[in-house]
Amino acid sequence: MKQELIFLGPPACGKGTQTNMLSEYLGFPHIDTGSLLRAEISKGTEDGIVAKSFIDKGQLVPPELVGAIIGKRLAEADCKNGYVLDGYPRSLEQAQMLEKINSDVDKDLDASFRAIYFDIDTQILIDRIVHRQSCPKCGEIYNKKFKPSKVENICDKCQVELKTRADDNEETAKARFETYYRETAPLIEFYENKGVLRKIDANGSIEEVWQRLLEAIK
Ligand code: AMP
């Protein structure tokens, strides 16, 4: 049966790290709208130029733009057994759009859909964001304070220079939290009412959260 997994939780709750690990574990693609949008920005496309103006303010990129990117991506062959979708949907409108995309792609296919909610103490999150770094090649996420690379600013796996996201500054981070609570948090109830929500305690070490995640997807 196809396994469709989506993830909810505030910025820097650990979704990126855990969903990267999960995608490798399950053999499903890790699809992350933030990274897809940042790739458009790097390529200098029209979508990228529009996206940047919203990302820089900590606001959601317009739903049609993200919906078109996700619709195309989920229809690709590597998603046929399942996907790990990180950062989408982020509003009720996007959740409804995802239902439409799934029903178009799946047709008669048997699919199980689950929303995993990372429940976390939000006080530590701004600190996590402003020290965050990631590898532009493999996507590995580091943190200068909590999970530093062995050699400063260099990825342990790829030996390339780590990057800090342009929107990982305090001002934009605060706006991203506001956007999250206003637009995305209502999805917790939306998926709870559908009986597909699994809540996990996202406080603790990467390994502790990983074990809880494995339980939640069983
Ligand atoms: P992330 O990498 O998930 O923290 O996302 C970074 C930024 O990309 C967000 O603050 C939004 O501006 C934009 N973004 C990512 N995913 C979405 C989405 N599903 N809908 C709208 N904007 C998004």
**Domains along the chain with CATH numbers:** 2-120+183-216 (3.40.50.300)
Give the residue numbers marked as catalytic: 15, 90, 132, 165, 176
Alpha carbon 153 to chain centroid distance? 23
Tokens found for residue 152: 């400063």
Residue ranges of the chain with per-residue pLDDT less than 50:
none
pLDDT in tens, 198-212: 999 999 999 999 999
For position 139, what pLDDT does the model report?
87
E strand map for 16-110: 30-32, 82-86
State if residue 67 touches ligand 1 by the CB under 6 angstroms criterion. no
- CA-closest residue to ligand 1 atom 14: 34
The neighbouring-strand residues paired with 142 are 133
pLDDT in tens, 33-59: 999 999 999 999 999 999 999 999 999
Tokens found for residue 183: 């637009």
The pTM for the full model equals 0.90
For position 108, what pLDDT does the model report?
77
- CA-closest residue to ligand 1 atom 8: 34
Alpha carbon 87 to chain centroid distance? 3
Residue in 32, 88, 90, 176 to alter for ligand 1 test, most ligand atoms within 8 A of Cβ: 90
